[in-house]
């Protein structure tokens, strides 16, 4: 009984002593590094990402879009994050990524997410501001700190391998002036601008270079941490440059999806006669972990 109570006390101590996401981002910005953000669709990907962060001893943000939450479960992914904190003492945070409905935003906040990105990038600037202001108000009323991220400029909406740049993506890059207006009128904590970044990968060719001077100008204008979306396939040099100029969080999803799918296919082929799922899922988890390890080293200057 004493041992059990001690375990509960230690778990609670880790949970309540863990830095908030705001503090973690501020610490990263002070050190000119960034917090890695990786999306999940199931517990295998979650376990692989958390294992990579634990191995390096760095914080990590788990992202789940409305579609990913629908498949995985909004409360289920939140429970896994709580377990990683309470049982393992890890700095794992949870973000509702690319949330496009008010209902989805509220569900994530109510489930205990640490942050919500309300993505109104395809809306008019006026409607985008209106939706994000509503998100900020709901987050503030939650009774705990929930960071709100807004997105300006369309960079595509799908983490896929594209034959060409998605129509309209990257054409309306964010300006310092528009970013300043957006931040002032919404009160967001984080800003995801369009700076040459595009969601997904391009088949058979490199992605466009990031506009590093634009990143620096926007960062100086808004004075809040920024978020780099669509980092899959970006060069390490561009990612380093973006972090140095104001990006406090870097998102990766497509590279994880590709590694996971390819490893599952290999595992199924190599274990064609075996029906035990872990025989072909363990290599897939390891593949995801290796991608995350590589990215976290880049983001954290390791």
pLDDT value for 163 = 58
pLDDT value for 8 = 42
The string over 216-228, giving b where at least 16 C-beta atoms fall within 10 Å of a residue's C-beta and e elsewhere, is bbbbebbebbbbb
Mean predicted confidence (pLDDT) in 83-101: 94
Q: How many residues would you count in the chain?
A: 302
pLDDT value for 161 = 65
Mean predicted confidence (pLDDT) in 198-214: 78
192, two tokens: 């995801």
46, two tokens: 């979650």
What is the rounded distance in angstroms from the CA atom of residue 295 to the CA atom of residue 38?
10
pLDDT band at 87 (very low <50, low <70, confident <90, very high): confident
Q: Is 97 known to be catalytic?
A: yes
Q: What are phi and psi of 251, to 5 degrees?
A: -95, 135
What is the rounded distance in angstroms from the CA atom of residue 101 to the CA atom of residue 36?
25
pLDDT value for 280 = 83
**Arithmetic mean of pLDDT over the chain:** 89
Query: What's 55-102 look like in SS3?
Result: HHCCCEEEEECHHHHHHHCHHHHHHHHHHHHHHHCCCEEEEEEEECCH
Q: Which of the 8 DSSP states describes residue 202?
A: E
Handedness of CA 163, 164, 167, 170 (dihedral sign): positive
What is the rounded distance in angstroms from the CA atom of residue 97 to the CA atom of residue 150?
11
Per-residue CA distances from 77 to 40, 42, 250 (Å):
9, 8, 20
- Under a CB-based contact definition with an 8 Å cutoff, are residues 36 and 58 in contact? yes
- Under a CB-based contact definition with an 8 Å cutoff, are residues 221 and 194 in contact? no
Q: Is pLDDT at 56 greater than 90 in this prediction?
A: yes
* Domains of the chain as residue ranges with CATH: 19-299 (3.20.20.70)
pLDDT in tens, 131-180: 999 999 999 999 999 999 999 987 766 676 655 666 665 668 899 999 99
Marked catalytic residue, from 27, 42, 97, 119: 97
Written as one string, the DSSP assignment of 9-45 is HHHHHHHHHSPPHHHHHHHHHHTT--EEEEE-SSHHH
- Under a CB-based contact definition with an 8 Å cutoff, are residues 22 and 145 in contact? yes
Q: What is the pTM of this model?
A: 0.90
Query: What does DSSP say about strands 226-228 and 247-252: parallel, antiparallel, or unpaired?
Result: parallel
Mean predicted confidence (pLDDT) in 198-208: 71
- Under a CB-based contact definition with an 8 Å cutoff, are residues 24 and 93 in contact? yes
pLDDT in tens, 58-67: 999 999 999 9
More confident call, 188 vs 18: 188
Q: Which of the 8 DSSP states describes residue 189?
A: S
């Amino acid at each position: 009984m004493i041992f059990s109570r001690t375990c509960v006390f230690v778990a609670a101590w880790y949970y309540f002593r863990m830095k908030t996401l705001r503090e973690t981002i501020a610490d990263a910005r002070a050190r000119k590094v960034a917090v890695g953000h990786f999306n999940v669709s199931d517990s295998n990907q979650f376990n692989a990402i958390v294992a990579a962060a634990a191995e390096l001893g760095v914080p990590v943000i788990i992202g789940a879009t409305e579609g990913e939450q629908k498949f995985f479960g909004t409360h289920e992914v939140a429970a896994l994050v709580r377990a990683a904190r309470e049982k393992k003492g890890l700095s794992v945070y949870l973000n509702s990524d690319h949330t496009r409905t008010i209902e989805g935003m509220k569900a994530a906040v109510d489930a205990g997410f640490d942050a919500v990105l309300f993505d109104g990038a395809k809306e008019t600037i006026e409607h985008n501001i209106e939706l994000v202001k509503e998100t900020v108000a709901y987050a503030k009323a939650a009774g705990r700190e929930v960071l709100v991220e807004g997105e300006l400029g369309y960079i595509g909406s799908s983490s896929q391998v594209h034959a060409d740049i998605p129509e309209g993506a990257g054409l309306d890059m964010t300006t310092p002036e528009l970013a300043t207006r957006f931040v002032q009128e919404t009160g967001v904590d984080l800003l995801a601008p369009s700076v040459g970044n595009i969601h997904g990968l391009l088949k058979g060719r490199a992605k466009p270079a990031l506009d590093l001077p634009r990143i620096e100008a926007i960062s100086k204008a808004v004075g809040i941490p920024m978020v780099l979306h669509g980092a899959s396939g970006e060069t390490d040099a561009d990612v380093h440059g973006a972090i140095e100029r104001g990006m406090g969080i870097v998102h990766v999803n497509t590279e994880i999806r590709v590694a996971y799918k390819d490893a599952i296919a290999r595992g199924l082929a190599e274990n064609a006669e075996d029906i035990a799922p872990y025989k072909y899922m363990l290599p897939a988890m390891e593949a995801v972990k290796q991608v995350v390890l590589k990215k976290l080293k880049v983001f954290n200057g390791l």
